[in-house]
Chain A
């Protein structure tokens, strides 16, 4: 299995809702990532997990809360989001955190009303 899966594909939520994005990989990768991408812009790193521990938090607002329950799973919990948080949220994984080859999931298209 050489893919990263993400659910849901699309999500519409109000500013008072709580929702979660899920990501899964079965490639035995030890590093997993969350990115945010706006239209016509590059992916913007949010969080890095290495060996199930949070190693990088790019000063992301606390309304985004990552969780790594095990080496194959990565969640992103969302609470009290703003309309400007609407974007494509991408999960990625790599063999180790220092590698240049990251495998991206198809993303979750999030709309905050």
Chain B
């Protein structure tokens, strides 16, 4: 089977750092993507890791360990506008098919 595990909810305060973990078990693996979705909005691409290591884009960083089938999204200097759902997604061996995790709802409190 194919599955991705991520926490369902995370709460943090403004200015803090939060890490959202994702473990995966898939029949094929090309890379791990992260998407952000605000309530009522569409998913927005945040990052993609095909190789092991850390990718940094502004306040957001994403990490991948292929040997551990594990990745995480790190959000720094949290802002209220970061309150949203975050999905990890695996690019498998079926061209074009993104396999999504169930999503992590992040609440940022003042």
Complex Cα–Cα for A85 and B102 (A): 20
In the assembled complex, which residues on chain A have CB atoms less than 8 Å from the CB atom of B100?
42-44
Which one of B41, B50, B95 lies within 8 Å of A48 (CB-CB)? B95
In the assembled complex, which residues on chain B have CB atoms less than 8 Å from the CB atom of A41?
102-103
Quick one: which of A71-112 are within 8 Å of B by CB?
Answer: 90, 94, 97-107
Complex Cα–Cα for A88 and B40 (A): 9
Given the known interface contacts A41-B102, A98-B30, A98-B91, the answer about A104 and B96 at a Cβ–Cβ threshold of 8 Å is: no
Once the chains bind, are A98 and B96 in contact (CB under 8 Å)? yes
Once the chains bind, are B45 and A55 in contact (CB under 8 Å)? no
Once the chains bind, are B95 and A97 in contact (CB under 8 Å)? yes
Contact size range, B: 20 to 34
Within the complex, the shortest CB–CB distance from B12 to chain A, in Å, comes to 20
Once the chains bind, are A90 and B42 in contact (CB under 8 Å)? yes
Within the complex, the shortest CB–CB distance from B47 to chain A, in Å, comes to 9
In the assembled complex, which residues on chain B have CB atoms less than 8 Å from the CB atom of A68?
none
In the assembled complex, which residues on chain B have CB atoms less than 8 Å from the CB atom of A21?
none
In the assembled complex, which residues on chain A have CB atoms less than 8 Å from the CB atom of B45?
101-104
List residues of chain B with CB under 8 Å of any chain A CB.
30-33, 41-45, 48, 50, 87, 89, 91, 94-98, 100-103
List residues of chain A with CB under 8 Å of any chain B CB.
31, 33, 40-45, 48, 50, 55-56, 90, 94, 97-107
Nearest 9 A-B pairs (CB), nearest first?
A97-B96, A42-B100, A100-B48, A48-B96, A100-B33, A104-B42, A97-B95, A100-B91, A100-B31
